[in-house]
Structure 1
Amino acid sequence: MLIDDHLLDEVTERAKGSERLRMNFNLHDSLEAKAQRLLNALEPGTLLPVHRHRHTAETYIVLRGSIRVLFYDDDRTLTDAFTVHPEEKVYGVHIPAGQWHTLEVLESGTVIFEVKDGPYMPLGPEDIILL
């Protein structure tokens, strides 16, 4: 399978039609896979709560568009922010295991390649901060 404009356009159209304004396209074979690899098409206005993955690091590579990644501490204080935009020669961000984070989508048509260790583990209430 090629990861090309046709695929990115297809996943983006699904995101635009989604109530959540985002859509995953999984590249891993199952939720039990040891590596969770996916395209994530994101539109401005999608809401991702501040959250953490206690047992895995996570990496975002922006294929097109741009995002702002925000890091928080246990006290809900913003500690760092990174704008990831390939046209500005900033391609991705690596998020350590346990790091509280979220992202804001800055451009319509944004698609990221996302990787984290598997198997898939849904976030529990102890892994989400409501600001």
Structure 2
Amino acid sequence: MAGARFLDQALFAELTQAAGASPRQRQHHNLHEMSEPCHRLLVGLQPDTYIPPHRHLSADKAETLIALQGRFGLLLFSEQGELETTRVLQAGGECSGVDLAPGQFHALVVLSTDAVLFECKAGPYRPLGDGEFASWAPSEGSAEAAGYRDWMRACFNNHPAR
């Protein structure tokens, strides 16, 4: 069993700096071993990252997201891609997290620099498969991704990136 691992400002700074240097503008820090049944990780993110709408179809893939530093815009979509709900997740704010049921299309947009997110879901890790990426949204790395990310951010005009 590993000793205590502290989720402190030094770790957050390391993650957000690495995210800023990454082409994807995000950096993962696993708190779990890949063989563990519960996967827990921190993610450092910068505003230019694009997290496309997706869902987890396995019945055991509920997902919990908690803002530890900064602000995020959460977008929930219908099966057809209609925007159903938006919510700001903010560390220390009125709403700091969400627990998502399997099958719910969701996306995040980063609304502040040097943001850190805690994520928890059942293991083992497996890449998203058929029907889990939204067919109605651009894929990561596509020419349309930045424009779609900007549209998602515009859904939170009262909470601009800083």
Shorter chain as normaliser: what TM range?
over 0.9
Cross-structure match for 1:25: 29
Describe the superposition over 1:92-126 as per-residue Cα deviations: whole angstroms up to 9, x where unpaired.
11111110000000000100110011111100242
RMSD of equivalent CA atoms = 1.1
Over 2 Å off, 4+ runs: 86-89
Q: Based on CA coordinates, which of the two structures has the bigger radius of gyration?
A: 2
Query: In the alignment, is residue 62 of structure 1 matched against residue 62 of structure 2?
Result: no
Describe the superposition over 1:10-46 as per-residue Cα deviations: whole angstroms up to 9, x where unpaired. 011100000000000000111x321110001111010
Gaps of 5+ in 1: none
Aligned residue pairs, count: 130
Q: Name stretches of at least 5 consecutive residues in structure 2 with no aligned partner.
A: 138-162
The SS at the match of 2:126 is coil
Distance in 1 between residues matched to 2:131 and 2:91, nearest whole Å: 33
Identity %: 36
Q: TM-score scaled to structure 1, two decimals?
A: 0.95
Query: Does 1 or 2 have the higher relative contact order (CA < 8 Å, sep 6+)?
Result: 1
Q: Deviations over 1:43-65 (max 9, x none)?
A: 10101111001121101111110
Q: Which has the higher strand share?
A: 1
Per the alignment, residue 44 of structure 2 pairs with: 41
- 1:17 and 1:59 map into 2 onto residues whose CA distance is 26
